[in-house]
Amino acid sequence: MTRFAAPIAEQIWDMKYRFKEADGTPVDLSVEDTWRRIARDIARAEAEPELWDARFYAALEDFKYLPAGRITAGAGTARSVTLFNCFVMGTIPDSMGGIFDMLKEAALTMQQGGGIGYDFSTIRPKGAGVTGVAADASGPLSFMDVWDAMCRTIMSAGSRRGAMMATMRCDHPDIEDFIGAKQDAARLRMFNMSVLVTDAFMAAVKADGSWDLHFDGKVYHTIQARDLWNRIMKATYEYAEPGVIFIDRINAANNLSYVEQIAATNPCGEQPLPPYGACLLGSINLARLVSDPFSDAAHIDEAALDTLVATAVRMMDNVVDVSKFPLEAQAQEAAAKRRIGLGVTGLADALLMKGLRYGSDAAAAQTERWLKRIARAAYLASVELAKEKGAFPLFDAEKFLASGTMRAMDEDVRAAIAEHGIRNALLTSIAPTGTISLYAGNVSSGIEPVFAYRYTRKVLQKDGTRTEEEVVDYAVQMWREMKGDAPLPDYFVNAQTLAPSEHVKMQAAAQKWVDSSISKTINCPEDISFEAFKDVYMQAYETGCKGCTTYRPNDVTGSVLSVAESTEKVPAEAPEQVRGAGGQDAEVVYMSEPLDRPQELEGSTYKLKWPDSEHAIYLTINDIVLGGHRRPFEVFVNSKNMEHFAWTVALTRMISAVFRRGGDVSFVVEELKAVFDPRGGAWVQGKYIPSILAAIGGVIERHMIATGFLEGEGMGLKTDPTAKVVGLESGTRGKACPSCGQFEMRMIEGCMTCASCGHSKCSG
């Protein structure tokens, strides 16, 4: 018997979280081994490790408590990775030396797998004078380009690329350039971007007043606040960025407002953090806790929930002590405040099991009750830890209890904190849980609605055959097991059928009892008017949200796939019959194993002569034919120059391994072409090439174009023989996942995420 509720859950565990030797030999032979590994490692911080090892294992068992992916993948492995998900780096000095010191710190953090946030408001605007140098400042956007290039070269833990958040204040002189930066599709691809919006700015927008853009006491421009607001709204309406962070609200509500000022968040926005702030994440799986589902007696045992929350808080507090940190400043910050971010996943499924329609007043009220119960339990558990192990070092009872969040807390909790202190300065957050929700049996993600109740995935096997798997939402699967073929009730709604205001209502309900913030995407229909779109943000501000992230499908952002009717005979009210996530009848998700190499392959060899290099580089690219189409299968890079030997061998092995996995591999070209050599590039055939690696990327791209794999230079895939989408109306296909090749990329919790393999742009 397997503990996994669905094949995809076991596959995600094997790909993402199963501990394996460097050669791929599994160390975790079962998911029970994974739970045991995590529990044992975290329990070593206890005076009685064997006692707590067993209790921690019980919390993990059957996916009731889900530590974030970094903990699940890294705890107990002795690998040099951090177990913390979220970092905001130090304040960037307004000096060249200081800026590049910060760049080094960012690289070290991302090398260990941390997602980072930066406030670029501290860098002087473009055109400002530079003291002692006969030149003008290049501005924060130019340095963001440097950060972006660094991020592209670093692989973070779990085979995810590092992710970054960039923020800028709404009164910085370069804010308009910041707002429009990502309208260039090739720029700042590794950043999520958000504008820090102040209460004063929102008041000026409402009053249609003027707004000063200033830096270091000097006003550079004065504009109309409403014009700037419309500019922000127009950019996110058309490009899905920048997001909006209500920064004054965050600082006013912060339990630690007496010792810190926040100006940035982690990449997905759920953790506003001070300079060098760090936070770890974990989620209570509400979908696993509902008793008597789909009946009038459906409920969550609140006493059992309290116990689970208390165990989770203790586990997360221990992670502060057992985790490695990329920087000593991060370790000191974490130890001084002991921040944790306990949240939920499976909320939408739990609401369905109680017969509640996501987005309804009743569902919002139930969400608020559950989140309050979790917050109470978490704070009281932290008080018990303070009795046993001491309060966090910077605890000041009078100032802590006067903070915005604590003023709303129940009096018995406030009294307990006043008497005994509290172990953790902040305790609750709702993080992106896209991958761990798949691992837990395809439960709904975070506090998001269910995206699709059912879809079919087909997996290409080594022998060329395809196996078909049905992926079903956890609550729908439970309905089937209990009700058979009975049609789903009308309260089964999904992300596409909800009004944006219903999304906001749910976010606001949850935010009341979350002391950090929430990662949430508000899905908007493509045909929403611009005025209605702006109202979504104003509603978020007026109802107490700390930020707002929307996604409106269009030609730029990619389509959220529309619901297409299945050929099966199904009841009209049964939305689970959607065959793709959001609508498509999906073909191939990924190749379960690399294809075996045939005895013979067709290919071509190219000579690349780099200026100032004595020896040419020769590239041989061999192709495989799948479904009547050629696609790259392997690359050999050779040179007589022995200085090139190590990196050409590495490049050969890495690119060939990527090609043999299938899917959309055009990103290899993009990544190579984006590499710049700090010593300078070269002009080749009338074009400036920034590095020899970029030149190699160009050769591979030209080969792909010649074989029909790419349509043209920079134009991406023409067709993917391993991923065919059928039954779609024109214009409904979304973007392909760069990891598995399926057209399943969609905005979830503020981050483009693949529903099939869990690949995420973000590293949270």
What does the block give as tokens for 57? 């294992």
pLDDT band at 757 (very low <50, low <70, confident <90, very high): low
User: Per-residue pLDDT for 673 more than 60?
Assistant: yes
pLDDT average, residue stretch 756-761 = 67
What does the block give as tokens for 103? 């760049």
Q: Do 497 and 525 contact (CB within 8 A), yes or no?
A: no
Catalytic residue among 241, 270, 671, 744: 270
Count of residues making up the chain: 764
Amino acid identity of residue 448, one-letter, is E
User: Per-residue pLDDT for 629 more than 60?
Assistant: yes
For the residues of 548-573, what is the DSSP string, one character each? E-EE--BTTTBPPPPP---SS---TT
Q: What is the reported pLDDT for 749?
A: 65
pLDDT, tens digit (0-9, with 9 covering 90-100), for 574-626: 323 222 223 333 333 344 455 567 778 888 999 888 876 667 889 999 988 87
pLDDT, tens digit (0-9, with 9 covering 90-100), for 472-531: 999 999 999 999 989 999 999 988 889 999 999 999 999 999 999 999 999 999 999 999
**Which residues touch 136 (CB under 8 Å, ≥6 apart)?**
126, 127, 128, 129, 130
pLDDT band at 716 (very low <50, low <70, confident <90, very high): low
Residues 681, 697: Cα–Cα separation, whole Å: 14
Q: What is the reported pLDDT for 735?
A: 59
CA neighbor of 468 nearest in space, from 332, 547, 586: 586
What does the block give as tokens for 391? 């309060």
Q: What is the reported pLDDT for 158?
A: 37
Residues 39, 53: Cα–Cα separation, whole Å: 5
User: Per-residue pLDDT for 571 more than 60?
Assistant: no
Read off φ and ψ for residue 154, nearest 5 degrees.
-115, 125
User: Per-residue pLDDT for 360 more than 70?
Assistant: yes
pLDDT band at 155 (very low <50, low <70, confident <90, very high): very low
CA neighbor of 245 nearest in space, from 429, 518, 523, 512: 518
**Which residues touch 108 (CB under 8 Å, ≥6 apart)?**
326, 327
Q: What is the reported pLDDT for 670?
A: 82
Alpha helices in 120-169 (DSSP H): 140-152
Q: Is 76 helix (H, G, I), strand (E, B) or coil?
A: coil
Active site residue 270: yes
Active site residue 176: no
Look up tokens 């794999």; give the residue: 709
The mean pLDDT value of the chain amounts to: 85
Stretch among 363-367, 525-529, 618-622, 660-664 having the lowest mean pLDDT: 660-664
Distances in Å between the alpha carbon of 602 and those of 72, 625, 635, 637, 659?
A: 42, 9, 12, 16, 15
Roughly what angle, to the nearest 10 degrees, separates helices 692-706 and 666-673?
150
Active site residue 398: no
Q: What is the reported pLDDT for 563?
A: 36
Q: What is the reported pLDDT for 672?
A: 87
Q: What is the reported pLDDT for 575?
A: 29
Residues 280, 83: Cα–Cα separation, whole Å: 7
Percent of the chain with pLDDT over 70: 84
pTM for this predicted structure: 0.78
Q: Do 725 and 564 contact (CB within 8 A), yes or no?
A: no
Higher pLDDT: 8 or 714? It is 8
For the residues of 313-337, what is the DSSP string, one character each? HHHHHHHHHH-B-SSHHHHHHHHHH
Sign of the C-alpha dihedral, residues 671, 730, 243, 505?
negative
Alpha helices in 390-499 (DSSP H): 397-401, 404-407, 411-420, 434-439, 474-483
- Terminal C-alpha separation, the chain: 32
pLDDT, tens digit (0-9, with 9 covering 90-100), for 614-625: 678 899 999 888
Peptide bond into 49 cis (omega under 30): no
Q: What is the reported pLDDT for 162?
A: 58
pLDDT, tens digit (0-9, with 9 covering 90-100), for 288-321: 999 999 999 999 999 999 999 999 999 999 999 9
Phi-psi domain of 62 (left: phi exceeds 0; alpha: psi -120 through 50; beta: other): left
User: Per-residue pLDDT for 266 more than 80?
Assistant: yes
pLDDT band at 160 (very low <50, low <70, confident <90, very high): very low
Q: Do 187 and 181 contact (CB within 8 A), yes or no?
A: yes
Higher pLDDT: 45 or 652? It is 45
pLDDT band at 187 (very low <50, low <70, confident <90, very high): confident
pLDDT average, residue stretch 418-432 = 96
How many Cβ atoms are within 10 Å of 734's Cβ, its own excluded?
A: 25
Residues 387, 410: Cα–Cα separation, whole Å: 20
Catalytic residue among 254, 266, 285, 494: 266
Sheet strands (E) in 592-677: 602-608, 617-626, 629-639
Residues 146, 190: Cα–Cα separation, whole Å: 11
Instruction: Give the largest CA-CA distance in the chain.
Output: 79
Q: What is the reported pLDDT for 731?
A: 37
Stretch among 97-111, 361-375, 616-630, 690-704 having the lowest mean pLDDT: 616-630
Q: Where are the chain's structural domains?
A: 602-706
Stretch among 345-349, 406-410, 678-682 having the lowest mean pLDDT: 678-682
Stretch among 188-197, 215-224, 408-417 having the lowest mean pLDDT: 188-197
Run of H or E including 702? helix 692-706
Q: What is the reported pLDDT for 464?
A: 57
User: Per-residue pLDDT for 188 more than 50?
Assistant: yes
Residues 426, 260: Cα–Cα separation, whole Å: 13
Q: What is the reported pLDDT for 736?
A: 56
**Which residues touch 620 (CB under 8 Å, ≥6 apart)?**
603, 604, 605, 606, 635, 636, 638
Stretch among 176-180, 424-428, 667-671 having the lowest mean pLDDT: 667-671
pLDDT average, residue stretch 232-240 = 94
pLDDT average, residue stretch 351-375 = 98
Q: What is the reported pLDDT for 610?
A: 80
Rounded CA Rg of the chain: 26
User: Per-residue pLDDT for 418 more than 70?
Assistant: yes
| Vertex 102: Cα angle to 99 and 103 (nearest 5) | 90
Give bridge partners of residue 82 from the DSSP assignment. Answer: 324
| Vertex 703: Cα angle to 701 and 705 (nearest 5) | 70
Residues 21, 747: Cα–Cα separation, whole Å: 33
pLDDT band at 189 (very low <50, low <70, confident <90, very high): confident
pLDDT average, residue stretch 715-741 = 41
Distances in Å between the alpha carbon of 143 and those of 178, 361, 387, 416, 566?
A: 12, 46, 47, 47, 50
Q: What is the reported pLDDT for 748?
A: 67
CA atoms within 13 A on the CB side of 86: 32
User: Per-residue pLDDT for 63 more than 80?
Assistant: yes
What does the block give as tokens for 200? 């004063």
pLDDT, tens digit (0-9, with 9 covering 90-100), for 13-50: 998 999 999 888 999 999 999 999 999 999 999 999 99
What does the block give as tokens for 575? 């939305």
pLDDT band at 562 (very low <50, low <70, confident <90, very high): very low
How many Cβ atoms are within 10 Å of 490's Cβ, its own excluded?
A: 9
Catalytic residue among 86, 151, 170, 268: 268
Look up tokens 């005025």; give the residue: 531
